[in-house]
Structure 1
Amino acid sequence: MPLMPKRVKYRKSQRGRVKGNAQRGNTVCFGDWGLQALEPAWLSAANIEAGRISCSKFVRGEGKLYIRVFPHKSITSIPLETRMGKGKGEPDFWAAVIRPGQIIYEVAGLPKEAAMECFHRVAHKMPFKCRMIGRRQTF
């Protein structure tokens, strides 16, 4: 199941820079526990899928998994041993732009120890440092 947009206005996007912390998507909203990014990075669709598979295998029937990111950005590359010029390369993969503080996955219906073990497995598949945080209690 490749994660990619159904249609985009422009096939090729510029790389840009990831500046600042996450202003939105930085609190646990849907589940009880969340995996939060601590560094800026591009998270490829393959990495998102690998984390989803490892988490869903651990959760099985007792909890629910929420994915809070989607790869909207196309990353292009030129074939190896190609001379300069000849334009921008073709889209190679799709990625989500991750800022520090953004929640990537959420889990509901699991105790704290099980959620820690689940996110520990998922964190190994991420290309940046992350931590587990809990839902903030609202009164």
Structure 2
Amino acid sequence: MLMPKKVKFRKVQRGTMKGLSKGAREIAFGTYGLRALEPVWFTAQQIEAARMTISREIKKEGKLFIRVFPDKPVTKKPAETRMGKGKGNPEFWVAVVKRERIIFELSEVDEERAKAIFKLAAYKLPMKTQFVKKVD
């Protein structure tokens, strides 16, 4: 599972997801990409599920680039705990994905195959996505 080796602060505030992504809005490494159309917290488990699906489909012919990393801890209080008594402990890690961010990129595969692969991966994702290709 993806998570940072070390963080400066153990717990962080929730923050906001409004607006467009500040970076990663253009395809940088591959030829085809999968773009997020909605803001969402993308968990490490969801990233891993999509990665496994894509890598299973491309076999050994293509190259996959993951453009998101879960670096935000999400805390939860234990069940049946009274209000107060501070913030809960970190339970899982998320990547904050804003609109128009490129999530995955593929290279060394043809366009039809890339579309089919990203369609399978999109079923694992918690947001609407769009297939995009690099503009020369």
Query: TM-score, normalized by length of structure 1?
Result: 0.96
- Please say if 1:8 is aligned against 2:7: yes
* Residue of structure 1 equivalent to 2:52: 53
AA in 1 matched with 2:119:
H
Superposed displacement of residue 17, structure 1: 1.1
What is the one-letter code of the residue matched to 2:28? Answer: C
Query: Which letter maps to 1:21?
Result: L
Match of 2:37 in 1: 38
SS of the residue 1:17 aligns to: coil
Q: Name structure 1 gaps, 5 residues minimum.
A: none
- CA-CA distance at 1:22 after TM superposition: 1.1
Which residue is equivalent to 2:120? 121
- 1:106 match: 105
Superimposed CA distance per residue, residues 32-82 of structure 1 (whole angstroms, 9 cap, x where no aligned partner): 100000000000000000010000000011100000000010000111111
Question: What is the DSSP-based 3-state SS (H/G/I as helix, E as strand, rest coil) of the residue aligned with 1:132?
Answer: strand
- What amino acid is the match of 2:10? R
Alignment correspondent of 1:64: 63
CA deviation digits over 1:104-138, x for unaligned, max 9? Answer: 0000011111000100011011100001100011x
Residue identity in the other structure for 2:23: R
Shift of the alpha carbon at 1:23?
2.5
> Segments of 4+ in structure 1 off by > 6 A?
none
Whole-angstrom CA distance in 2 between matches of 1:8 and 1:21:
25
Distance 1:100 1:74 in 2: 21
The RMSD of aligned alpha carbons is 0.6
The 1-side partners of 2:126 and 2:49 are apart by 12
Q: Distance in 1 between matches of 2:34 and 2:78?
A: 35
Question: Scaled by the length of structure 2, what TM-score is found?
Answer: 0.98
